[in-house]
Structure 1
Amino acid sequence: MALAIAASVGGTALSAGWSFGVGRLLPAGILATVAGVALPWRHQRPLAVVALTTACGMGQGLLGMLVTPILTAPMTIALYSVGVREDIRTRRAGALIAGTGMLITGTVLTLSRKEFFLSIVNPVSWAMLPIAFGSYVQVRRALAASRAEQAERAKEEEAHRRVIEERMRIARELHDVVAHHLALANAQAGTAAHLKRTDPEQAFAILDQLSGTTASALRELKATVSVLRQESDERNLAPAPGLARLPDLTAACAAAGLKVGVETDGDARDLSPAVDVTAYRIVQEALTNVTKHAARPEAEVRLAYTDRYLTLTVRNALGPAAVAAGRGYGLTGMRERALAVGGTFHAGRRPGGVFEVACTLPLHHRDPDEGKAP
């Protein structure tokens, strides 16, 4: 405010000294001081301050002062404040007030001086430029705020998406670990109960195997939970299960009374960790479904390797319980796993009373989470 008063009064003094002498300096100086003193209220009463500073500028011009940017500094500050802070309606009103005032002043001066450019164009331009520049600054600030808000919203959406994906991943892992071992344990317990009178020794042997099944379930569940509780992002965690553990899986199924045949077409090839885990989990879940729904405790697993893909097929004879198959999360989880590594998945009935789970997986898939034990 002090600078505005000093500039306005100084400009008044220069204009008076150069144009019409010092006789009109006092009233012009008073007008300049009033305009400067009004500036602190430009945020509370923007249009009133614009009108007052414009009127003071008009008065100085009509007193014969040369209307210059220094002389109209208070009006310029008030207009810039309106341009930066106020809405479009207030900006238009401020521009109209200042423009009209300067136009009237310029017209009067033109009648006496015959200097159209200096008397009209310049004052009106000085009135329009501050509010135009202030409006530009306001638009730039709004654009920056909008971009920041969009970036923050995108960040929140990305975080939400990651939470959903992580939740689905946890659900898949827990389902695969718990459902498989519980299905085997249930089959073993049922077989032992059936044999406890006719073949007690075999029943006790199956119960021993049941203990191993539950212990394996606890180990895998503990490993999964330990990974989920990791606070760091280190990759040197326990190795993830892959097709190398397929013999152990079929042996566990055999112990539960499920006969599994494995056939391999083509030379076995190295798989990326994500694809290896996916293939193993799909076979595991498919055999779990066989244990629960098949007509006979038999299944066929076929692995077909090509230069770029692995085609995995699990087939079994349909049973009465197959009607209810698909109501759980097993097939959904298998499909999600296959799609996550860029593969395809299909499950359904085949001619001859056979249910088939088939998927085609690329041999290599880049996964940002590779190395984590599921």
Structure 2
Amino acid sequence: MTLKTAPGQSPAHKEPQAPTGWWRRPTGLLPDALLALAITGFALLDIVFDLDNSTRYGPMPPLVVSTLVATLVLALRRLTPLATAVVVAVAIGGPMLATPLTFTLWGDFLPLLLATYSVARHGERVAAWLGAAATATTVVLVMLRNPDTGTVSNIPFAAVPIAVVFVAGRVLRARARNHSDNQAQLQRLEAEREEAIGVALAEERSRIARELHDIVAHCVSVMVVQAGAAEDLLDRDPSLAHAPLRQVQETGQQAVGELGRMLGLLRGQAPQLALKPQPGTANLAELIEHMAGVGLPVELTVQGPARPLPPGVDLTVYRVVQEALTNALKHAAPTTAHVLLRYDEQSVRMSVRDTGRTGAPGGSASDQVGRGLLGMRERVGLYGGTLETGHADGGGFTVTASLPLQAAPR
């Protein structure tokens, strides 16, 4: 067997896409075309420079045609890997059946190696084995029909490189598949992370909206009531109007401070603010005292041994009582209210009842169904609790909420 060596460059491969049947997307078509032209040129030069031994090649036209077909078709090795391997095998082995020809490096052996690697690297399992069978059959045929080395003992010498490039192609394909799977998994994880971030942002926006509503609604309602009281006093006794006006000022300052803290958190300025803990059941007495100061007498009753509550549940209890009292002040004044806080082994229950407008039984805070009650329902539902609202027997309006102590936030 005559094997003439010459320097050459190995083809560069891009990451494959999953093939569909016998057809592949034309990835890397231009580099493969240039590679095929280079191999064709070297194969023709191999023939031209060895014309003195042309008798060993057999008839020149079949040799040139088979060389051109076997080398130029390599431009399609990634586009149609199985068809390329079959064409190369037929172009090299076919003429051997009619006229034994010399087996060359550039025109015969290198195209067989590259076609075998390509079908293993870019073809599905069945296509890869079919292509390898075609090239292996050609190698056996060449070894048996070659005029220089027509013996069976030379078959392993040529078959081993075919087997090596086939295994290398399958291994690289498996690695590319794993890499592609890993990339797909990373993209899925990234999408899930983005979705989780979106959900968290939506929940945070909802939480901030509830906090802002509670702060603004409470403070503005108190300011409106106190401003109305001051207006009445200005006509009767201007000296007494100072107290409600002072209350309006203090409540406005409180609202500005709370809003400043909330907006500071949104702007990332929390370390520069004089922060304080979120209110809870420990602040109910202060809230009731404040409501009494703005014209809503409130009585607080606690049943059962008080116990520490989870921070979220503790804040929810405070906000529900605050919202119910604010609505009573806004919609049912002049009135009184009663707050019942009851602890048991499994839950904490709160009930806020106002007595309704004087002289108008039942005409209380029933018109408060809106963002206030919706916000309370969201808060309570977040911790697996229940909220009931409605008119009380004998007049007034009642807000009752129950929160389980062991419920995990949803």
> Under a length normalisation based on structure 1, what TM-score does the superposition of the two structures give?
0.71
Residue 213 of structure 1 and its aligned partner are, at CA, apart by 1.6
What residue in structure 2 maps to residue 54 of structure 1? Answer: 89
Worse overlay, 239-248 or 357-366: 357-366
| Whole-angstrom distance in 2 between the partners of 1:286 and 1:265 | 19
Q: C-alpha offsets along residues 58-106 of structure 1, whole Å, 9 cap, x if unaligned?
A: 35975597xxx999422222213432xxxx7xx9878766656766887
| Whole-angstrom distance in 1 between the partners of 2:329 and 2:193 | 44
Structure 1 counterpart of 2:379, from 337, 351, 370:
337
Worse overlay, 94-103 or 315-324: 94-103
| Whole-angstrom distance in 2 between the partners of 1:262 and 1:61 | 106
Residue 323 of structure 1 and its aligned partner are, at CA, apart by 4.5
| Whole-angstrom distance in 1 between the partners of 2:72 and 2:249 | 91
| Whole-angstrom distance in 1 between the partners of 2:171 and 2:343 | 68
Kept in 1, the 8 Å contact 2:82–2:130? The answer is no
Kept in 1, the 8 Å contact 2:96–2:141? The answer is no
| Whole-angstrom distance in 2 between the partners of 1:184 and 1:197 | 21
| Whole-angstrom distance in 2 between the partners of 1:317 and 1:324 | 15
Q: Classify 1:232/1:137 alpha carbon distance in 2 versus 1 (closer, same or farther; 3 Å).
A: farther
Structure 1 counterpart of 2:115, from 72, 75, 98:
75
Residue 163 of structure 1 and its aligned partner are, at CA, apart by 1.2
Structure 1 counterpart of 2:199, from 155, 161, 164:
161
Q: Classify 1:366/1:223 alpha carbon distance in 2 versus 1 (closer, same or farther; 3 Å).
A: farther
Counterpart of 1:357 in 2: which secondary structure? strand
Residue 167 of structure 1 and its aligned partner are, at CA, apart by 0.8
**Mapping 1:87-166, distance limit 5 Å:** 136=174, 139-166=177-204
What residue in structure 1 maps to residue 367 of structure 2? Answer: 324
Letter in 2 for 1:76: T
- Kindly indicate whether residue 353 of structure 2 is the aligned counterpart of residue 315 of structure 1: yes
Q: C-alpha offsets along residues 160-195 of structure 1, whole Å, 9 cap, x if unaligned?
A: 111111111111111111110100111111112122
| Whole-angstrom distance in 1 between the partners of 2:264 and 2:187 | 37
Q: Classify 1:317/1:99 alpha carbon distance in 2 versus 1 (closer, same or farther; 3 Å).
A: farther
Structure 1 counterpart of 2:291, from 253, 264, 267:
253
Worse overlay, 329-338 or 180-189: 329-338
| Whole-angstrom distance in 2 between the partners of 1:363 and 1:262 | 21
| Whole-angstrom distance in 1 between the partners of 2:269 and 2:257 | 20
Residue 325 of structure 1 and its aligned partner are, at CA, apart by 2.0
Counterpart of 1:292 in 2: which secondary structure? helix
Letter in 2 for 1:326: V
Identity %: 33
| Whole-angstrom distance in 1 between the partners of 2:313 and 2:110 | 74
Structure 2 counterpart of 1:266, from 304, 315, 336:
304
What residue in structure 1 maps to residue 250 of structure 2? Answer: 212
Letter in 1 for 2:402: T
Please provide the CA RMSD for this pair. Answer: 4.8
Kept in 1, the 8 Å contact 2:261–2:270? The answer is no
Q: Classify 1:348/1:233 alpha carbon distance in 2 versus 1 (closer, same or farther; 3 Å).
A: farther
What residue in structure 1 maps to residue 47 of structure 2? Answer: none
What residue in structure 2 maps to residue 357 of structure 1? Answer: 399
Tell me the matched-pair count.
340
Kept in 1, the 8 Å contact 2:384–2:408? The answer is no
> Under a length normalisation based on structure 2, what TM-score does the superposition of the two structures give?
0.65
Structure 2 counterpart of 1:190, from 228, 251, 262:
228
Q: C-alpha offsets along residues 328-371 of structure 1, whole Å, 9 cap, x if unaligned?
A: x211221222233343333233443342222222446778xxxx
Q: Classify 1:155/1:252 alpha carbon distance in 2 versus 1 (closer, same or farther; 3 Å).
A: same
Kept in 1, the 8 Å contact 2:296–2:333? The answer is no
What residue in structure 2 maps to residue 20 of structure 1? Answer: none
**Mapping 1:288-303, distance limit 5 Å:** 288-294=326-332, 296-303=334-341
Counterpart of 1:191 in 2: which secondary structure? helix
Worse overlay, 93-102 or 183-192: 93-102
Gaps of 5+ in 1: 10-22, 368-374
| Whole-angstrom distance in 1 between the partners of 2:294 and 2:138 | 101
Structure 2 counterpart of 1:42, from 71, 77, 90:
77
Residue 302 of structure 1 and its aligned partner are, at CA, apart by 0.6
Q: Classify 1:350/1:194 alpha carbon distance in 2 versus 1 (closer, same or farther; 3 Å).
A: same
Structure 2 counterpart of 1:238, from 264, 267, 276:
276
Letter in 2 for 1:78: S
